[in-house]
Amino acid sequence: MTFEAPVLHYSILAPILIVLGGALVGVLIEAFAPRASRRSSQLFVTVASLVIALAALLRVRNQVSVSAAMGSVSFDGAGFLLQASILIIAILSVFLIADQENFTALAAAVPGSEEERHSLQADLRVTEVYPLTLFAVAGMLLFPISSDLITLFVALEMLSLPLYLMAGLSRRRRLMSQESALKYFLLGAFSSAFFLFGIAYLYGYSASITFSGIQASIVGGSGNDVFLLLGIAFISVGLLFKVGAVPFHAWTPDVYQGAPTAVTGFMAAATKVAAFGAILRIYYVTFANAQWQWKPALVLIAIITMVFGSVVAISQRDVKRMLAYSSIAHAGFLLSGVIALSKSGLEASIFYLFAYGIATLGAFAVVTLIRDSAGEVTDLNRWSGLGKRSPLTASVFALFLLAFAGIPLTSGFIGKFSIFSAAYESGNTSLLIAGVLSSAIAAFFYIRVIVLMFFKDSVEDGTSVVIPSALTTTTIAITSAVTLILGIYPAPLINFIATFATFVR
Amino acid sequence: MNALTTMMALPLIGSLLIAIIPSEQVLRIKQATFITTLLVAISGVLTWIKFDSANTALQFVESAKWIPSFGINYAVGVDGLAIVLILMSVLLAPIVVLAGWNESEGGRWSPKVFYILILVLETMMIGVFAATDLFLFYVFFEAMLIPVYFLIGGFGSGERAAAAVKFLLYSLFGGLLMLASIIGLYVISGANGGHTFDITRLSELHTYMSSTTQNLLFLGFFIAFAIKAPVWPLHTWLPDAAAAATPGTSVLLLGVLDKVGTFGMIRFCLALFPDASKTFTPLILVLSVISIIYGAFLAIGARDIKRLIAYTSISHFGFITMGIFAMTSQGMSGATLYMFNHGFSTAALFLVAGWMISRRGSSTIADFGGLQRVTPIMAWSFFIAGMSSLALPGLSSFVSEFLVLVGTYTRYPVAAVIATFGIVLAALYILIPVQKALHGPTTPGNENLSDLNLREKIAIAPVVAIIVALGFYPSPLLNVINPASAHVLEVQGFTDPVPSESAGK
């Protein structure tokens, strides 16, 4: 028996490797650098490795390869677009994370303990959040370009584990934050188990774990269809859990609410891109030929997700929970792009993911600014009159809400139009109708927040808008500008996406 | 630069200039707004003069690529119907600014915001009538809701926030239904010769549609326009919005924005779906007749003067819709002229009512009385506006109402006969408040009301002049409208019924 040395295309894998390298440097800084210099050096290393990774990614944008890592990774235009979106969102998220006000002083200290008090007095800061972020980003970069199920699973775990930890790092209401982390972890572990189970079934069906091998078996049609169906179903459970589609959404509101807001923003934006990237690839490349078997179920899930997210969001009193339900509704809209199974569906999904990710990040960035003496204020009632106190902040938040609602001249409208037209073009009229109706429902609660901010009198309870740090300001400025520009003149980005958006098979 | 684009750019430039002026310099802001709207009005009149009424093709055409991959263009151009409505809009804008010189004060925000919103709205009002690309039309159609929403909610009176939300939700719901239809058209156009939003090409598509498709798409458009117009039973937002908004905003809302609904019925419902239009005509005529009679009864029962005007508008919009769907050239011309005249008679009513209300501090009709003696000029202005609203021969509305009734009678005599009762009721709903508010003994508290000042006289003079002049000599408008409305009918194969000899032949 001979062994072949594995052949790796380092240039294609470079972005992932750079981010991982940055994470390792970060771990070393945690271990050896003096506490005082950690924050600045960590921030520098993190941003630098993300920027270098983005540059390395841009260099290979025209390459297409199915054998970047012995058939486990396939890089193509769509992979490039998804990875680039993840990196851009990650850089903007790190700017938010750098505002350390939201993070606990010492994550290991038991809430309410003497140790916690000491750590607060000593004004300690968690800096381990930076390498954790980089590890998660590396997993996210791998997720949408994996082309076998084992790599996909590794990437899934690699992006999830750091996120579980990061969700528990909140400075205030720590018990709630830790509860959300535990909840996320347990449910995530369940979904991973389902996912693994699905891999086993698909292996049983096709005797292969690669996307191309499974696809060949589906085309050949010789295997046992029950195994195929079970495999697709269980793998879908694992993936749909990550994007928060109903009925696998239960973690979303609690985790969004409990996690530090900067982490929530990162999670909501970047995880969604990565997970939908993986879903798009596996459905478009592998499962497309079996679409008559899974399509009805996925259409149903998409419709339920849209409607449920929109309806339940109406009754939310907490801005982070409201945004969580809104993200569930958007997951439903995005699923229609998956179901479309067409080039225009892929383009629309990628545009939507980018536009939505940017707007979500911006919205959470604004949430970090509304505080009182005990930290962030997420109770919507206490946001009333915000437009009077801080017109600019309120206007920017209103812009993001209008983008979520899909009002013309914001990026959300172009996204919604392109994804619904792709869905309808491939014959899914029910998705179009459900999408439009749930958009109408969703508009209601977005507008309610605008009413609250602009048309209600302010309450004097110490709620105020803090002056954002330079980095947070940068994030808010960039996200709002992108949201507006993509609404007014999206043609360059749409053309750019159209040039690249293909999956290599 | 294209005349229409210039007209749209001017208010935007003006709003940018105002944004620079410090918000304390209220007078300068008002002057800048007034001058801007005046310039737009002048360029509107110049465009009107240059318009070649004999030419039924679109004029002042300009087209530039906007989002090429979706076949979306920035395309503008006007036919005789559109130019008339644009002329009405740009003439009303300076009048509204001048008449409501002080209504921007006492709002939630500074007057600066008010005038920026007004100017942005003016750009969109021109754009919505000028757009010859369906997507562009939709963008204006939806985006113009936002400034109106803030104008009502921020500067109105009474239950302004609730009224603003009701207005926005109704409109968004209609807009989303229309979006579904637009996506449907887009996909059908893609299957038949390439994606496009050009209305000329879209109007050829109906031959490719099954009648079910055509009916559904038609309903998406029609419901959106029926909410906008508004047609019974989708009218309930209008009285609240009109009562809460400032008089100037109400003029723009009823005078211009609602016309987008009736204009859209001609431009899109009839032109794109001629067969479906015929199918639904009986239903729509029934709704129109109900609107005419029901609106009139509501107006008779109204105690609040602003609500009264809103109800009369519902009745008038019934006439307009009836004229449009009678599908005769007289009906179509009459409906278009009606739109123009209704803009001015409603403007006169609302502006004078606004002055009465601000002087008296009450909008209840019963609080007025004997104004004829105390404030003769104001009373006469209200009287003339009222007479125009009830379509007194010699005033402009008479011509249009007569044309609508004649045009309807030739094809649908029953509807026309019932609608004629609307005229009788109109006399009631106008003469009752005229009698209560203007005549009779002077109600205590009204003795010292001041009459119109010079600014107000200058504002109301052109409105009254137009109402009287067009009543005697409507030809300048009809010369433009007639060829255009004949063309609209001819293109989609509607013909006037052959005039029959009188009975007993």
User: What confidence score (pLDDT) does residue B500 get?
Assistant: 58
pLDDT 10s digits, B343-371: 888 888 888 888 888 877 777 777 777 77
- Beta-carbon separation of A454 and B108 below 8 A: yes
User: What confidence score (pLDDT) does residue B499 get?
Assistant: 60
Angstrom distance (rounded) from CA A185 to CA A198: 20
In sequence order, the 6+-apart residues with CB closer than 8 A to the CB of B241 are: B152, B163, B164, B166, B167, B250, B253, B310
B140 vs A contacts (CB less than 8 Å):
408
pLDDT 10s digits, B394-436: 788 888 888 888 888 888 888 888 888 888 888 888 888 888 7
User: What confidence score (pLDDT) does residue A132 get?
Assistant: 93
Residue B287 belongs to a domain? yes
Phi, psi for residue A103 in degrees, rounded to 5: -100, 150
User: What confidence score (pLDDT) does residue B505 get?
Assistant: 42
Angstrom distance (rounded) from CA B342 to CA B334: 11
Mean of per-residue pLDDT scores for chain A: 88
Task: Indicate the pLDDT class of residue B502, thresholds 50, 70 and 90.
Answer: low
Angstrom distance (rounded) from CA B98 to CA B33: 9
Tokens for A184? 């996320």
B186 vs A contacts (CB less than 8 Å):
421
User: What confidence score (pLDDT) does residue B504 get?
Assistant: 44
Residue in A447, A490, A495 nearest the CB of B165: A447
B residues 125-164 closer than 8 Å to A (CB): 138-140, 142-143, 145-146, 150, 153-154, 160-161, 164
Closest CA relative to residue B128, chosen from B16, B265, B257:
B257
Residue B256 has pLDDT above 80, yes or no: yes
- Beta-carbon separation of A421 and B186 below 8 A: yes
Residue B304 belongs to a domain? yes
Residue B73 belongs to a domain? no
Number of structural domains (chain B) is 1
Mean per-residue pLDDT, B40-67 = 86
DSSP letter (8 states) at residue B192 = T
Residue B80 has pLDDT above 80, yes or no: yes
* Residues counted in chain A: 505
A421 vs B contacts (CB less than 8 Å):
70, 183, 186-187
Does B12 lie at the interface with A, CB-CB under 8 angstroms?
A: no
Rounded to the nearest 5 percent, the helix, strand and coil shares of chain A are: 75, 5, 20
Ranked by mean pLDDT, which of A35-44, A192-201, B73-82 comes out on top?
A192-201
The residue range of the domain holding B290 is: 274-494
pLDDT 10s digits, A441-495: 888 888 888 888 888 777 777 677 888 888 888 999 999 999 999 988 999 999 9
Residue in B108, B160, B169 nearest the CB of A444: B169
DSSP assignment of B429-488, as one string?
HHHHHIIIIISSSPPTT-TT-----HHHHHHHHHHHHHHHHHHH--HHHHHHHHHHHHHH
Phi, psi for residue A379 in degrees, rounded to 5: -70, 120
3-state class (DSSP) for residue A7: coil
DSSP letter (8 states) at residue B21 = S
Angstrom distance (rounded) from CA B142 to CA B257: 11
* ipTM, two decimals: 0.85
Residue B272 has pLDDT above 90, yes or no: no
A448 vs B contacts (CB less than 8 Å):
165
- Beta-carbon separation of A418 and B179 below 8 A: no
Interface size between A and B, measured as CB pairs under 8 A: 89
Mean per-residue pLDDT, A52-61 = 92
Higher model confidence: residue B445 or residue A406? Answer: A406
User: What confidence score (pLDDT) does residue A156 get?
Assistant: 92
Nearest CA in chain B to A429: B184
pLDDT 10s digits, A324-364: 999 999 999 999 999 988 888 999 999 999 999 999 999 99
Output the CA–CA distances (angstroms, integers) from residue A410 to A356, A413, A444, A486, B143, in the order listed.
11, 6, 17, 7, 10
DSSP assignment of B285-350, as one string?
HHHHHHHHHHHHHHHHH--BHHHHHHHHHHHHHHHHHHHHHTTSHHHHHHHHHHHHHHHHHHHHHH
DSSP assignment of B42-94, as one string?
HHHHHHHHH--TT--S-EEEEEEEEEGGGTEEEEEEE-HHHHHHHHHHHHHHH
Confirm if A299 and A401 have CB atoms less than 8 A apart. Answer: no
Tokens for B410? 């030739």
Higher model confidence: residue A212 or residue B505? Answer: A212
C-alpha A116, offset from chain centre: 31
Angstrom distance (rounded) from CA B179 to CA B191: 18
Angstrom distance (rounded) from CA A490 to CA A480: 14
A416 vs B contacts (CB less than 8 Å):
179
pLDDT 10s digits, B206-240: 888 888 888 889 999 999 999 988 888 888 888 88
Please report where in the chains the tokens 């590794």 appear, as a residue. Answer: A154
Confirm if B252 and B92 have CB atoms less than 8 A apart. Answer: yes
pLDDT 10s digits, B128-180: 999 989 999 999 998 888 888 888 888 877 788 888 888 888 888 888 889 99
**Percent of chain B residues past pLDDT 90, beyond the cut:** 6
pLDDT 10s digits, B454-482: 888 888 888 888 888 888 888 888 888 88
Q: How far apart are the first and last CA of chain A?
A: 30
- Beta-carbon separation of B108 and A388 below 8 A: yes
CA distance B348 to chain A (A): 29
Nearest CA in chain A to B175: A440
Residue B117 belongs to a domain? no
Residue B349 belongs to a domain? yes
pTM for this model (two decimals) = 0.90
Angstrom distance (rounded) from CA B139 to CA A314: 26
In sequence order, the 6+-apart residues with CB closer than 8 A to the CB of A492 are: none
Task: Indicate the pLDDT class of residue B24, thresholds 50, 70 and 90.
Answer: confident
Does B65 lie at the interface with A, CB-CB under 8 angstroms?
A: yes
CA distance A461 to chain B (A): 21
**Percent of chain A residues past pLDDT 70, beyond the cut:** 99
Burial class (CB in 10 A: 0-12, 13-18, 19+), A429: middle
pLDDT 10s digits, A84-138: 999 999 999 999 988 767 777 777 777 777 877 777 777 777 788 899 999 999 9
Tokens for B241? 């919005």
Please, where are the H alpha helices in A60-101?
A: 77-97
Q: Is the peptide bond before B230 cis (omega within 30 degrees of 0)?
A: yes
Angle ∠(B26,B32,B38) on CA atoms, nearest 5: 135
Domain extent listing, chain A = 10-500
- Beta-carbon separation of A455 and B108 below 8 A: yes
Does B57 lie at the interface with A, CB-CB under 8 angstroms?
A: no
User: What confidence score (pLDDT) does residue A91 get?
Assistant: 94
CA distance A219 to chain B (A): 28
CA distance B178 to chain A (A): 9
Residue B276 has pLDDT above 50, yes or no: yes
A387 vs B contacts (CB less than 8 Å):
108-109
B150 vs A contacts (CB less than 8 Å):
454
Give the A-side interface with B, CB within 8 Å: 387-388, 391, 402, 405, 407-409, 413-414, 416-418, 420-421, 424-425, 432-433, 436-437, 439-440, 443-444, 447-448, 451, 454-456, 489-491, 494-495, 498
B residues 172-191 closer than 8 Å to A (CB): 172-173, 176-177, 179-180, 183-184, 186-187, 190
Strand (E) or helix (H) holding A424:
helix A411-425
Decide the pairing of beta strands A370-372 and B59-67: unpaired
Q: How far apart are the first and last CA of chain B?
A: 59
Mean of per-residue pLDDT scores for chain B: 84
Residue B206 belongs to a domain? no
User: What confidence score (pLDDT) does residue A133 get?
Assistant: 93
Residue B366 belongs to a domain? yes
Mean per-residue pLDDT, B98-106 = 77
